[in-house]
Amino acid sequence: MTSTPAQRLSLPRVLAFSTLSIPLAGVGLPLAVYLSPLYAHEVGLGLELTGLLFMLLRFWDIFTDPVMGYLVDRYRSPLGRVRHWILLSVPLLAVATYFVYMPPRTGVGPGYFVGWMLLFYVGFTLLQTSRSAWVPAIATTYDERSRLFVWPEVVSIVAMLTLLALPAILPVLGFELDRFGQVAVMGAVLLVSLPLSGALAVFFVPDPPIPGDAGNALKFELKPLLAAVKNQMLGRVLAMELFAGTAIAVTASNYLFVAEYVFKLNNTQASLILMVFFIVSVSAMPLWFLLARRTEKNIAFRTATLFAAVSYLLYFFMGQVGGFWPLFIGAIINGVAFSAPIVLTRSMTADVVEWQAARSGENRAGIYYALLTSAYKVGSSLAFGVGYLMVAQLAGFRPGQDNSPEAINGLLMIFCLLPAGLYLAASIASWTYPLSRAMQQDVARSLDPRGPQTLD
């Protein structure tokens, strides 16, 4: 490889690609923070049933995700490798978003919830897998891949910040909405963003083949999936994603309950603190990116997860005091490390995709990112199912009812200690990740000894 630096995808094209994070943001924390309590409390499904249904739906995704990854890898079109899949995912996710975010106030049972959530997750998985599988082709260097995940994460956090801020902003504008109304407004924002972001990405982002792809990944086989999981590189990343994703989901699904019952805050105050949390998260991302550039991605991941684990211990002590400012301070410290783990695992997966393509000539980007998504969903399902079960059965906490001090303290302990332990496990998993910067550069040199490809 020549010493000439790789020509990067231009910033306007990176931003066009990053707009896909806007609709995807509605499937993350807003779903956990507002939709799960809505269906558990206001709709009336209950904590245990809501947690069980979320868990079963996410586990079902574990079987569908590899199929989605195979489809993305296998079927191309005149538009390229992934553009047509982006276009297909938009209407699927839009229809499901309407019914999930705007449920009737009466008559909603488990069947309604399961049916529309199944379609919701299919559309989400197709959009997320296609977007992630795009990165190894449009970012060809070790640090450039982090950039192609950092910018979407920044856009995602801004979108989540906007969605989560709506309950605090609407009363200021004179709109006093209950939880149904607040969630419906979030759904409307997502419905507008879906076609716009899809069009921007499809029209302005190139869709070249992955370097090293000889077109050999044509069949859906179980053997490559098992080999991917057993692979020391991807398997380690999947473990890191599983632990970090579970920690995030446990926090998100219980945040409103903790804010209301432990810290004694109203909905507006809780939403305001979430806004600050995400502002801090966006502001801190360049620091983690800089650390990854100067060291290794797994070192930055390890540092971020250790920082996050310690921050939950602070949450516990702040909960003994209660009130707005203790939760505010805890959220600022916890927010510093929020985005880094998930961004870094996605960037690391792009390196593994390239490494696999160099060895086998197979483009397995879709399947590899589908497995990564599955790992996150396993964590999310466990957080909803086991987390809500622990809150209800072990702590004895019930939303909308008078709870004893013991039940409220049990809620706080689960909220703090469970994520802290999970982040610690994620940090430990990162110690033996083997794919370094030097190894990636050797792989890139073997794929294209003449020099970097031109994207613009």
Q: Which residue has the tokens 């090293």?
A: 212
CA 22 to chain centre: 12
330 pLDDT more than 50: yes
Average pLDDT along the chain: 84
Helix (H, G, I), strand (E, B) or coil at 80: strand
Q: What is the share, in percent, of the chain residues with pLDDT greater than 90? A: 37
Query: How far apart (Å, rounded) are the C-alpha atoms in residues 31 and 25?
Result: 9
Per-residue exposure over 221-256, b if at least 16 CB sit within 10 Å of its own CB, e if not: eeebbeebeebebbbbbbbbbbbbbbbbbbbbbbbb
- Per-residue pLDDT tens for 412-422? 999 999 999 99
Query: How far apart (Å, rounded) are the C-alpha atoms in residues 202 and 195?
Result: 11
309 pLDDT more than 50: yes
Q: Could you tell me the pTM of the whole model? A: 0.75
* C-beta of residue 382 within 8 angstroms of C-beta of residue 246: yes
* C-beta of residue 353 within 8 angstroms of C-beta of residue 213: no
What CATH topology corresponds to 12-437?
Answer: Growth Hormone; Chain: A; (1.20.1250)
Q: Which residue has the higher pLDDT, 29 or 245?
A: 245
Q: Which residue has the higher pLDDT, 395 or 244?
A: 244
Tally of residues, the chain:
456
Helix (H, G, I), strand (E, B) or coil at 222: helix
* C-beta of residue 31 within 8 angstroms of C-beta of residue 384: no
Query: How far apart (Å, rounded) are the C-alpha atoms in residues 30 and 26?
Result: 6
456 pLDDT more than 60: no
How many CA atoms within 13 Å lie on the side-chain side of 120?
26
Q: What is the dihedral of CA 63, 64, 69, 74, to 10 degrees?
A: 110
* C-beta of residue 352 within 8 angstroms of C-beta of residue 197: no
Q: Which residue has the tokens 């419905």?
A: 191
pLDDT at 215 (0 to 100): 56
* C-beta of residue 269 within 8 angstroms of C-beta of residue 328: no
- Per-residue pLDDT tens for 130-175? 998 898 888 878 788 888 888 888 888 788 777 767 777 777 788 8
Q: Which residue has the tokens 């957080």?
A: 383
- Per-residue pLDDT tens for 22-45? 888 877 666 777 788 889 888 888
Structural domain spans, the chain: 12-437
